[in-house]
Amino acid sequence: MTATAGLDGMHAAPDWQQRESLLLAPWAMHAADSAGRVHAETPHAFRSPYQRDRDRIVHSAAFRRLAHKTQVFTGYHGDYHRSRLTHTLEVTSIARTLARSLALNEDLVETLALAHDIGHPPLGHAGEDTLSELLADEGGFNHNAQALRIVELLEIRYPNFPGLNLSREVLDAQATRKKDGTAPAPLLEAQVVDAADSIAYDTHDADDAVELGLVTMDELLEIPLVAEAAARACDRYGTLAGSELRRAALHEVVEFEVAELVTRSRATIASLGIESVAQVREVFRGHNGMPGVRIVSHAPAVTAGKRILEQFLFQRVYRSDRVLAVRVPAQRKLTRLFEWYCLHPDEMPASFRGRIERFGVRRSVADYIAGMTDRFLDRDHDLRIGAF
């Protein structure tokens, strides 16, 4: 066999498949092993299935609207803080670092991270709580379940089927987030996105809250996780104060948590002898009398430290007067607009009207309202019902 014939043989597999074979660990999800899509499609000449999934998310209307959806703070609070979109990009950034450090499939991780919050309605958790009450008799409303409805049904991108026709592994990972026990055990690619989500919101909500004056840096420094990070930052840079201290300390929290996750996950993979995706799932569920193990997880002491920060944020930020003062009137607007569309379903766009027969008026109205941005909801409310 000549050298050329050998190269020809190598090129039998697509470039992306060769690249994944070279770079990914045996515990990573290889696109060549994907369970495929509901609607069969011709393979792309140079993009892997998960690269196509990522691009479908980025080009979706639901993803673009994240720019104008509340994470915690709304436009009323200023323009420093994170929106749902910038939160998503921070999660993606952290998740890709974790993925590359663990030799996981970065394309799949990027897809999962970019898609993880697309099911959020306007007004953040306030909007979700309100929709859930309004749909109490129809199974409630959950942003993780809604993300699946968006990618399987509500996004219209192709003439021959509804939804984005994403790979099975992307749908399974999103189903796992519903936590109703119906999804298969999460891949490591899904586990790093969950961990990155938590690292991102803990730290950026703390950053936003200090910048917006809801809490002081001194109060934040009473939390051991932040105090220890601030001490390390001052060791590196010298004495810091004010916004320099805030930025350096919270950056250090992210750095510490990511490093701890990478080190611990690698050690767990080695100690459990993980050699395949099947084993990742097996140890997650627990087997041979062993309890289940989430491989990508913090040490108990770090989890406990994060919990102190999260309880502080819950009491002092998410439940603060300034956040609630915006939340309550916004929830009233959402409720009024929801009931108005239930009485006037013909005023919805044709695609939403067309689903009423199958899903009922209230679910179809919820799909329409959940897709709105904060400002569209505001304007539509004032247009339909009047500003008061």
Nearest alpha carbon to residue 192 among 76, 280, 79, 66: 280
Token readout for 387 is: 């500003």
Give the shortest CB-91-to-Mg ion separation in angstroms: 6
Stretch that binds Mg ion, among 158-166, 191-199, 261-269, 275-283 (CB under 5 A): 191-199
Q: Are 229 and 249 in contact (CB under 8 A)?
A: yes
Give the integer Cα–Cα distance in Å for 69 and 140.
21
Stretch that binds Mg ion, among 94-102, 124-132, 192-200, 258-266 (CB under 5 A): 192-200
DSSP 228-286: HHHHHHHHHHSS--HHHHHHHHHHHHHHHHHHHHHHHHHHHHHHHT--SHHHHHHHHH-
Looking at the Cβ atoms of 95 and 348, the one nearer to Mg ion is 95
Residues 194-233 that bind Mg ion (CB under 5 A): 197
Give the shortest CB-373-to-Mg ion separation in angstroms: 17
Give the shortest CB-193-to-Mg ion separation in angstroms: 9
Q: Could you say whether residue 117 binds Mg ion (CB under 5 A)?
A: yes
Stretch that binds Mg ion, among 124-132, 193-201, 257-265, 289-297 (CB under 5 A): 193-201
Total of chain residues touching Mg ion, rule CB under 5 A: 2
Give the shortest CB-87-to-Mg ion separation in angstroms: 6
Looking at the Cβ atoms of 31 and 113, the one nearer to Mg ion is 113
Give the shortest CB-125-to-Mg ion separation in angstroms: 11
Give the shortest CB-196-to-Mg ion separation in angstroms: 9
Give the shortest CB-305-to-Mg ion separation in angstroms: 20
Give the integer Cα–Cα distance in Å for 158 and 173.
23
Stretch that binds Mg ion, among 111-119, 131-139, 187-195, 217-225 (CB under 5 A): 111-119
Give the integer Cα–Cα distance in Å for 102 and 237.
30
Looking at the Cβ atoms of 197 and 257, the one nearer to Mg ion is 197
Looking at the Cβ atoms of 53 and 117, the one nearer to Mg ion is 117
Give the shortest CB-243-to-Mg ion separation in angstroms: 25
Q: Phi/psi of residue 157, each to 5°? A: -120, -20
Give the integer Cα–Cα distance in Å for 197 and 179.
16
**By rule CB under 5 A, what string of x and - marks binding of each residue 149-188 to Mg ion?**
----------------------------------------
In eight-state DSSP terms, residue 74 is -
> Cβ atoms within 10 A of the Cβ of 345, count?
15
Looking at the Cβ atoms of 112 and 229, the one nearer to Mg ion is 112
DSSP 301-364: HHHHHHHHHHHHHIIIIITSHHHHHHHHHHHHHHHHHHHHHHH-GGGS-HHHHTTHHHH-HHHH
Looking at the Cβ atoms of 20 and 374, the one nearer to Mg ion is 374
Give the integer Cα–Cα distance in Å for 74 and 87.
13
- The footprint of Mg ion (CB under 5 A) covers 117, 197
